[in-house]
Amino acid sequence: MYDSPKLLGLRKELINNLIKKGINNKNILEAFLKVPRHLFIHKDFESFAYKDEAFPIDENQTISQPFTVAFQTHLLNVKKGDKILEIGTGSGFQSAVLVFLGADVYTIERNHSLFRSTSKLFKKLNINPIKFKYGDGYEGLIDDSPFDGIIVTAGSPSVPENLLKQLKIGGRMVIPIGKDTQVMNKITRISINDFKKETFGYFKFVPMLDKKD
Ligand code: SAH
C-alpha cells in the first residue's frame, strides 16, 4: 500500500482540521488516520486527498468531503459489530471508515463501472465489507435486514420507504434529503411504526438516482 511521510503529515493536518470543525470522536479520528484517502482518488491528484473538500471520481461522481464522512459517521453512532448498510459505495472511502470502526458493512452501488473499480480497490487494500452489491439502493437489502444503521451517501428527494422498513428498532438512518442541496436527517426507529426525525443543516451531494434516471 503506497503511503509516504508527506501524505501522513497531510492526513494529520486534515484530522486537526476536522477537530476544529467539531469532530471529537476518537475512533472516527483514528479511522481517518488509518485509512489512506489518497488511494481512493486518482493517483495524479493524491495531494488533494487531504483537503477538506469533495473531489471528483470517475463516472461524474464524487468522493464525499472528509467532514461530511466524519459527520455522517458520527450521527450513525457506529459500535463494533453493528450491521450497517451503506447506499452509494462510490470510491469506497466511507465503507473503509465503517469497516475500520469494526462494523459489519453491507454496501450498494448502482454504477457498474464504479462497482468494478471499487471492488478491485477493496481487494487490493484488504478492506472486507460483508457484502458489496451492484444494485439499486432504493431497494436496500431485504434478505440481510434489519440493520443497526443505514447511511445514504447520495442526495435523496425523500426518505425511501423500503429503507425505513429495514431498520432495527433503535436503528438509525442518516440520509441527506433534498434536490439541489440537502438537509442531513437522522431518523431513529423507536418502535415498529414510530420514527424520530432530527435535522442537522445543509449539505451538497450528488443525486441518488432512480431506476428511470
Ligand atoms: N460513499 C461514497 C460517496 C459517493 S457519491 C464515497 O465515500 O466516495 C454517491 C454514490 O452513490 C455514487 O457512486 C453513485 O453512483 C451512487 N448512487 C446514486 N444513486 C444510487 C442508487 N439508487 N443506488 C446505489 N447507489 C447510488
Question: Residue 47: its pLDDT value, please?
Answer: 83
- pLDDT tens by residue, 103-120: 999 999 999 999 999 999
Beta strands in the chain (DSSP E): 55-56, 62-63, 83-87, 104-109, 131-134, 147-152, 167-177, 182-189, 195-203
Residue 213 has pLDDT above 90, yes or no: no
Residue 54 has pLDDT above 90, yes or no: yes
C-alpha cell at 147: 440493520
Give the residue, by CA position, lying nearest to ligand 1 atom 23.
137
Closest CA to 155 of 97, 72, 93, 73: 72
Nearest atom within ligand 1 for CA of residue 93: 7
Question: Residue 212: its pLDDT value, please?
Answer: 75
Residue 204 pLDDT grade (very low, low, confident, very high; cuts 50, 70, 90)? very high
Higher pLDDT: 2 or 178? It is 178
Q: Which residues line ligand 1 (CB under 6 A)?
A: 61-64, 87-91, 93-94, 108-111, 114, 136-138, 153-154, 206, 208-209
Q: What is the mean pLDDT of residues 190-201?
A: 97
Percent share of the chain, pLDDT over 90: 93
Query: For residue 128, how far is the Cα from the chain centroid?
Result: 15
Residue type, 134: Y
Q: Looking at 47, 64, 119, 158, which residue is catalytic?
A: 64
Residue type, 166: Q
Is 64 an active-site residue? yes
Residue 163 has pLDDT above 90, yes or no: yes
Residue-averaged pLDDT of the chain: 96
Alpha-carbon separation of residue 97 from 55, 73, 86 (angstroms): 17, 8, 11
Residue of 73, 85, 97, 209 to mutate, ligand 1, most atoms within 8 A of C-beta: 209
Residue 96 pLDDT grade (very low, low, confident, very high; cuts 50, 70, 90)? very high
